[in-house]
Amino acid sequence: MLAGRAAAPQPVAPFELELRGGGRISSEALRGRVTVVIATEPSCFACRLEAPALAKLQQRYRGRKDVQFLVVTSDPDGIDALHGTAGFRSQIARDDGWRTVVGINSYPTHLFIDAAGREVYREGGRYREMHFVYPALIEALRRGR
């Protein structure tokens, strides 16, 4: 099932984004860990629905140093409030046009980036599948497959 929706691994378009609360994060900083990038907006109904499922997925990987989550949005404060209510906590970066550069035109969209910094899978948020598909994908990426 994953192979049918997986993309040929491509390097992630470089970025350096401002983090909510200060600081910056770059595409280079993602290397060495599996990263799930969540492109979202607080006004998106599906984004609201998926927030509790993201919290459960994150809980599964809490304390792991080889898996991280990064949210990219135009409204970091709005997303922090939405995700915080659901129990999902991650770094939140303000989009500066990077989502358009990588071809994200609907929300939510999830990008799976391997430890080498390559996008290997992209999914328009299917929060109903998240508990089945996403852990298998994350585990495969952790093992370097």
Instruction: Please check the confidence at residue 96 and state whether its pLDDT lies above 60.
Output: yes
Instruction: Please check the confidence at residue 47 and state whether its pLDDT lies above 80.
Output: yes
Q: Report how far apart the first and last C-alpha atoms of the chain are (Å, whole number).
A: 15
As separate numbers, helices (DSSP H) first and strands (DSSP E) second, the chain gives 5, 8
Q: Nearest-CA neighbor of 14 among 108, 112, 101, 124?
A: 101
Mode of pairing for the β-strands spanning 24-26 and 6-11:
unpaired
**What's the topology of domain 2-142?**
Glutaredoxin (3.40.30)
Which of these ranges, 63-67, 68-72, 74-78, 127-131, has the smallest mean pLDDT?
127-131
- What ranges do the domains of the chain cover? 2-142
Query: Are the CB atoms for 5 and 123 separated by under 8 Å?
Result: yes
Query: Are the CB atoms for 9 and 114 separated by under 8 Å?
Result: yes
Tell how far CA 85 is from the center of its chain.
Answer: 18
